[in-house]
Amino acid sequence: MSTDKKHLTTSWGAPVGDNQNSITAGSRGPTLIQDVHLLEKLAHFNRERVPERVVHAKGAGAHGYFEVTNDLSAYTKASFLSEVGKKTPLFIRFSTVAGELGSADTVRDPRGFAVKFYTEDGNYDLVGNNTPVFFIRDAIKFPDFIHTQKRHPQTHLKNPNAVWDFWSLSPESLHQVTILMSDRGIPATFRHMHGFGSHTFKWVNAQGEAVWVKYHFKTEQGVKNLDVELAAKLAGENPDYHTEDLFNAIEKGDFPSWKLCVQIMPEQDANTYRFDPFDVTKVWSQKDYPLIEVGRMVLNRNPENYFAEVEQATFSPGSFVPGIEASPDKMLQGRLFAYSDAHRYRVGANHNSLPINRPQAEVNNYQRDGAMRADNNGGGSVYYEPNSYDGPQESPQHKTTPFAVTGEAASVAYDHNDHYTQPGDLYRLMSADEQTRLVENIVAAMSPVERVDIKLRQIEHWRKADAELGQRIADGLGL
C-alpha cells in the first residue's frame, strides 16, 4: 500500500486538522457553532438524499487578483499573504441587501462586499459590507431584522413602521443606522466605496501566535456618493445603474482597485479595550490600532455568464484557510453556519463543486451524493474515515488554535452596552452640510411611521448620542 497520504480537506479545499473531535468549550462542551467542518459534514449529510437569495439578491460581480504589497507573515501563516508580490486570483460580488433580484441599485441600503480568494490552501471568503459595523450583534436577531426590511405580509409593501419599531427597540443598531442615513448610504457606484470585513477575525502565525484583526478595503477611485434626488431619478430610469457601471468600467480597461489594510490588536488587548472588540456594532479607533497595508485588489475581468458566475457564486465567512480563524464575535459565529446552509438550500449540497466556487486546491473528502453532483462522486474509493485504505487523513498541524472561554452555558448578552458614543462621535466628525443631509434623510425616512411612540423612542437614542442631533430630528418631525 502507498504511504503517500493525501490531506483530508473541506469542500472548499482547506485542510482539516481534526476529523475525530468536535470543537468544544473544554472536554465536556458545549460544542461550538464555529466548528464549520462539523456543521458542513452534518448539513451535507442531511442533503445527500435527494431559489433567489433571501438577502443580497441583487448584485454584480467581477474577477480579479490580489497582490501582496507588505510582508505580514509575522502575524499570519496564510499562504496567499506569505510574500510580497504574490498574486492570488479572486472573484467579488457587490450587492444591495434588502431588495429583490429586480430591485434598483441606487436605493439607500448597505452594500455587500464579498470576496473569494482562490488560494493554494483552499478558498478564503471574506464576506463583508461597505460599512465597518452592522445593525445587530447577535445572530439570533438576524431573521427578525431582515423581516423588517422585507415586505408587509398583507399589503406586500415596504413597511417603515416595522423598520423603525425594530431599530428603536434595538439601540445597538444606532451606529449602523447613522451611517446608513448619511451620505454613505447611497454610493455613487460599486467602484467608489470602501469595503470592510466588519467582524473581528483571528490571525495565527507559523509559531501558533494569535492576534485579532479587522479588514479595510480602501477604494483607490475615491469615495463618491449620490445625491438623494439623483439616486431616486436613476432608480426609475436605470435601476441597474451600478451593475452597468461596473461592467462598462472593466470592459473599457478602467480596472477598479482597492488597497487592503488591516488593524491588528494583540490578543490580550481584547480583555481591556474600552469597547468589546468582538461587538460588530463597534469600531476600533485607528488611533489605537492604525491601519497597516496588506496588499492591493484589482478587478480586471467581467463574467462571461451572469447566472453561472454571479448568481451561482456562494460565499461563507466560515470558508477559512490556515492562518485565519474565527473570533468570539456572536454575529460572526452565527454566520459561520447560516451562509453555507443558505447555499446548500438555494444552489445545492454540491455548490462548492460549481466552477465559480470550485477551489484551485485539490479537494479530498468523504462527502458523497446530493443533487447535481457533477464529478465522478469519488468513484469507487473509500467513503468513510477513519479507514485503513489510504484515504485522505487529517493533518494535525492545521488544527484551529484555542482561545480561552469562561462562564456558564447560558443565553448571555454582551457585557458592554454603550451604543451612543460612537454614533455621536461620527455625527460630530461630519461637516455642517453632511450633518444637515443626515438629519434630512432621517426625517424623510421616519416621516411615514404612523406611531408617535416609535418616533420618540428612536429620537431618544439619537439624543443620547448627540443632544443637538436628537433635537434637530425632533424638530424636523414636528415633535
User: Residue 161 maps to which CATH number?
Assistant: 1.20.1370.60
Q: How confident is the model at residue 1, as a pLDDT?
A: 46
pLDDT band at 386 (very low <50, low <70, confident <90, very high): very high
Query: Do 302 and 283 reside in the same domain of the chain?
Result: yes
Residue 287 in domain: yes
Q: How confident is the model at residue 50, as a pLDDT?
A: 46
Report the run of H or E that residue 261 belongs to, with start and end.
strand 257-266
Cell 495565527, residue? 204
**Average pLDDT over the chain, rounded to an integer:** 94
Q: Catalytic: which of 7, 123, 129, 419?
A: 129
CATH of the domain at 224: 2.40.180.10
- Residue 283, number of CB atoms within 10 A of its CB: 21
Query: Do 157 and 218 reside in the same domain of the chain?
Result: no
257 has a pLDDT exceeding 90 = yes
Q: How confident is the model at residue 73, as a pLDDT?
A: 96
48 has a pLDDT exceeding 80 = no
Cell 462548492, residue? 352
Picking from 155, 242, 208, the residue whose alpha carbon sits closest to that of residue 323 is 208
Residue 272 in domain: yes
Picking from 453, 299, 401, 437, the residue whose alpha carbon sits closest to that of residue 23 is 401
Active site residue 56: yes
% of residues, the chain, pLDDT over 70: 99
Picking from 170, 208, 167, 173, the residue whose alpha carbon sits closest to that of residue 74 is 208
Query: Do 45 and 158 reside in the same domain of the chain?
Result: no
pLDDT band at 228 (very low <50, low <70, confident <90, very high): very high
DSSP per-residue codes, 66-88: EEE-S--TTT---GGGSSTT-EE
The model's pLDDT over 339-353, given as tens digits with 9 standing for 90+, comes to 999 999 899 999 999
| Inter-residue contact 365 to 371 (CB < 8 Å) | no
pLDDT band at 3 (very low <50, low <70, confident <90, very high): low
Query: Do 98 and 193 reside in the same domain of the chain?
Result: yes
Number of domains in the chain: 2
**Terminal Cα distance for the chain, rounded:** 81
466 has a pLDDT exceeding 60 = yes
Q: What is the residue type of 31?
A: T
Q: Work out the average pLDDT over 70-86.
A: 97
Q: What is the residue type of 269?
A: D
- CA atoms of 350 and 44, how far apart (whole Å): 8
Residue 59 in domain: yes
Query: Do 131 and 141 reside in the same domain of the chain?
Result: no
| Inter-residue contact 139 to 330 (CB < 8 Å) | yes
Please list the alpha-helical segments (H only) found in 420-451.
421-429, 432-446
Query: Do 131 and 147 reside in the same domain of the chain?
Result: no
Task: Point out the domain boundary residue: 405, 436, 459.
Answer: 405
The model's pLDDT over 174-198, given as tens digits with 9 standing for 90+, comes to 999 999 999 999 999 999 999 999 9
Task: Point out the domain boundary residue: 405, 438, 461.
Answer: 405
Report the run of H or E that residue 423 belongs to, with start and end.
helix 421-429
Please list the alpha-helical segments (H only) found in 193-301.
228-237, 241-251
Residue 23 in domain: no
Torsions phi, psi for 90 (to 5 deg): -150, 165
Residue 28 in domain: no
Residues in a beta bridge with 87: 67
pLDDT band at 45 (very low <50, low <70, confident <90, very high): confident
Query: Do 254 and 213 reside in the same domain of the chain?
Result: yes
Residue 238 in domain: yes
Q: How confident is the model at residue 49, as a pLDDT?
A: 63
The model's pLDDT over 275-301, given as tens digits with 9 standing for 90+, comes to 999 999 999 999 999 999 999 999 999
Residue 76 in domain: yes
Classify residue 369 as left (phi > 0), alpha (psi -120 to 50) or beta.
Answer: left
Query: Do 253 and 165 reside in the same domain of the chain?
Result: no
Give every CB contact of residue 7 below 8 A, 6+ residues apart in sequence.
Answer: 15, 16, 364, 392, 393, 394, 395
Q: Catalytic: which of 7, 44, 56, 461?
A: 56
What domain range includes position 427? 137-169+420-479
Cell of 229: 434626488
DSSP per-residue codes, 117-174: EEETTEEEEEEEESSSS-S-SSGGGHHHHHHHHSB-TTT-SB-HHHHHHHHHT-GGGH
What's the distance, CA 134 to chain centroid?
Answer: 10
Query: Do 144 and 83 reside in the same domain of the chain?
Result: no
Task: Point out the domain boundary residue: 405, 429, 458.
Answer: 405
pLDDT band at 76 (very low <50, low <70, confident <90, very high): very high
Residue 14 in domain: no
pLDDT band at 403 (very low <50, low <70, confident <90, very high): confident
Query: Do 311 and 254 reside in the same domain of the chain?
Result: yes
Give every CB contact of residue 26 below 8 A, 6+ residues apart in sequence.
Answer: 405
Active site residue 129: yes
Query: Do 287 and 431 reside in the same domain of the chain?
Result: no
- CA atoms of 339 and 67, how far apart (whole Å): 27
- CA atoms of 197 and 199, how far apart (whole Å): 6
- CA atoms of 433 and 358, how far apart (whole Å): 47
Query: Do 221 and 368 reside in the same domain of the chain?
Result: yes
The model's pLDDT over 125-179, given as tens digits with 9 standing for 90+, comes to 999 999 999 999 999 999 999 999 999 999 999 999 999 999 999 999 999 999 9
